[in-house]
Structure 1
Amino acid sequence: MIEELLPERVAAAEATTDPTDAVLFPEEEALLARSVEKRRREFTTGRVCARRALAQFGVPAVPILRGPKGEPRWPDGIVGSITHCAGYRAAVAARVTDLASVGIDAEPHGPLPDGVLGAVSLAEERSQLAELDRAEPETPWDRLLFCAKESVYKAWFPLAGRWLGFEDAAVTIHPDTRTFEAKLLVPGPVLAGRPLTGFTGRWLVRDGLVLAAIAVPARPTG
């Protein structure tokens, strides 16, 4: 499903179950020394999906380790993103000549737990969610907002190399086009000679999942 939200030049792989025969590289195993079984399964299947995506570019299987903030470390010349939630794992990858960054997130269909929305949203975002909910109550708009913001952070971090809080980007959801816009409320990095001021992305709600994805072109389109 995730490939529906991204350009054709992005390789994607996903899984709805955790393979029992999956094998990690020793360097990856070392990252899981203190992990519980649930985390081990998520990490392992995520890495399996990442290697399947990389294989579409002819990139051989290599360890995908973690950076200082837990971000995946992709092979040279590649950008990518990994996500997981209950019953779903996915990874996407692209060449740096095509994309400067990519961010994906998957969440279970359903409302956010009590108290979470206030911590991850701005007042204007909550007002928009109320309007959307009145028009289309079957869609978990609060979960979608959270999902979009997670994809924003994953697209942001490889470019900026620093934290971006939930309050640092204002997201507007467009239900008719199944797209969203994220306006940065803090200074962004310079990309291809221009300051980055925001992101555009696409979203999908299907089969018990909420998905969001952002693809940042390597070269400005306008």
Structure 2
Amino acid sequence: MIEQILPPTVAVSESFTDPAGVTLFPEEEALVARSVEKRRREFTTVRHCARLALGELGLAPAPIVSGARGAPLWPDGVVGSMTHCDGYRAAVVGRTAAFASLGVDAEPHAPLPDGVLGAIALPAERSRTVTLGAVRPAVCWDRLLFSAKEAVYKAWFPLTGQWLDFSEADIVFDPAGTFEARLLVPGPVFGGAEVRAFAGRFLVERGLVVTAISIPAVAS
């Protein structure tokens, strides 16, 4: 499903269940040794997905541990992103020769709990959410906004190593299936240029909203 909103050179693996018999590397097991069963299942399946995606790039299975702020640490020469929610887990990876960063997120297609939109959205975003709801009322635009902000952060952090608050990116949706995240703080610099916005895509399908950002590598 999520491959529909990513370039074809991104390797993707996703699962709508938690398959039996999947095991973790000892280094990964240590990260969830005290976690509740739900967290263990999510963690285990999404790493299974990650190893399948890495296999599509010709890489052998390896532990995927967490670094700063919980970001996954990928093998050399690889960028990637993982996501999980009820009924869905996915991992996407690409070669650093092709991509500077990837960010994906999935959420249940349901309205956000009361009070969450006000906590994560700028005034202009809240206004646009109302407008979009009038145009396409079948879409939970508040949940889609939350997902897009998560994808933005996942693409941002590997480039900067810094926190990005919900209020520091202004997201504008095109109902056709794309969005632009306009950075309201200095953006990452690579290839001698500052990145001021991220381009993303979204999909509403199978009771889920999924968002994806793929940032091309700078040509040498």
Name the TM-score class by shorter chain.
over 0.9
1:137 deviates by 1.0
Residue identity opposite 2:182 in structure 1: K
1:134 deviates by 1.1
Q: d(CA) in 2 for partners of 1:135 and 1:168?
A: 26
Residue identity opposite 1:139 in structure 2: V
Equivalent position of 1:28 in the other structure: 28
TM score, norm. by length of structure 1: 0.97
1:188 deviates by 1.2
Equivalent position of 1:166 in the other structure: 166
1:19 deviates by 1.1
1:20 deviates by 1.6
Q: d(CA) in 2 for partners of 1:68 and 1:184?
A: 22
1:15 deviates by 0.2
Residue identity opposite 1:71 in structure 2: A
Equivalent position of 2:77 in the other structure: 77
Equivalence map 1:40-189=2 (5 Å): 40-176=40-176, 178-189=177-188
Q: d(CA) in 1 for partners of 2:62 and 2:191?
A: 29
**What count of residue pairs does the alignment treat as equivalent?**
219
- What are the superposed Cα offsets for residues 156-211 of structure 1, whole Å, 9 maximum, x if unpaired? 000010100000000000002x0000000001121211011110000000110000
Residue identity opposite 1:186 in structure 2: V
- What are the superposed Cα offsets for residues 49-83 of structure 1, whole Å, 9 maximum, x if unpaired? 00000000110000000002100000000000000
- List gaps (5 residues or longer) in structure 2: none
Using the aligned pairs only, state the percent identity.
60
Equivalent position of 1:198 in the other structure: 197
Q: d(CA) in 2 for partners of 1:179 and 1:186?
A: 22
1:40 deviates by 0.3
Residue identity opposite 1:203 in structure 2: F
TM score, norm. by length of structure 2: 0.98
